């Protein structure tokens, strides 16, 4: 993925702003929520108005909110990894599954 500078913003090669891509990931994550802004606000410790602005792409989440979102929502985590040029691979998934299997094994022994 290539990036280019435009008015101080980093844009993916396709010209979609980082803010728009993150907002899209949030909208995707909230697509089945009854009240997306309220649910997002609770998860991120923000106001519903602040969460709505993030969902619309009018505001960007701060680092703390982005880390929380990556913990809670796979869609946001996947988009963040793509933006960082570290998109998931099969080997990543296999490593995570192996780690979980090891932890389960350790719990059974204890």
d(CA 96, CA 71): 15
Instruction: Identify the helix (H) or strand (E) that includes residue 11.
Output: strand 9-12
* Six token digits for residue 29: 């994550």
Residue 5: per-residue pLDDT: 46
In the beta sheet, which residues pair with residue 9? 6
In the beta sheet, which residues pair with residue 6? 9
* Six token digits for residue 80: 């963040």
Contact 84, 70 (CB under 8 A): no
- CATH level 2 (architecture), domain 3-109: Orthogonal Bundle (1.10)
Q: Where are the domains of the chain?
A: 3-109
* Six token digits for residue 82: 């793509």
Residue 8: per-residue pLDDT: 44
pLDDT per residue as tens, the chain (110 positions): 444 444 445 555 556 788 899 999 999 999 999 999 999 999 999 999 999 999 999 998 988 999 999 999 999 998 888 887 777 665 666 676 777 778 888 887 76
Burial (CB < 10 A; 0-12, 13-18, 19+), residue 25, is buried
> Whole-prediction pTM value?
0.66
């Amino acid at each position: 993925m290539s990036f280019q500078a435009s008015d101080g913003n980093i844009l993916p090669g396709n010209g979609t702003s980082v803010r728009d891509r993150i907002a899209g990931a949030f909208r995707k994550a909230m697509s089945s929520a009854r009240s997306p802004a309220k649910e997002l606000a609770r998860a991120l410790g923000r106001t519903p108005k602040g969460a709505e602005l993030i969902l619309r792409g009018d505001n960007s989440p701060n680092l703390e909110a982005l880390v929380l979102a990556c913990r809670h929502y796979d869609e946001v985590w996947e988009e963040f990894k793509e933006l960082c040029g570290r998109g998931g691979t099969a080997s990543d998934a296999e490593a995570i599954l192996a780690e979980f299997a090891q932890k389960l094994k350790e719990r059974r022994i204890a």
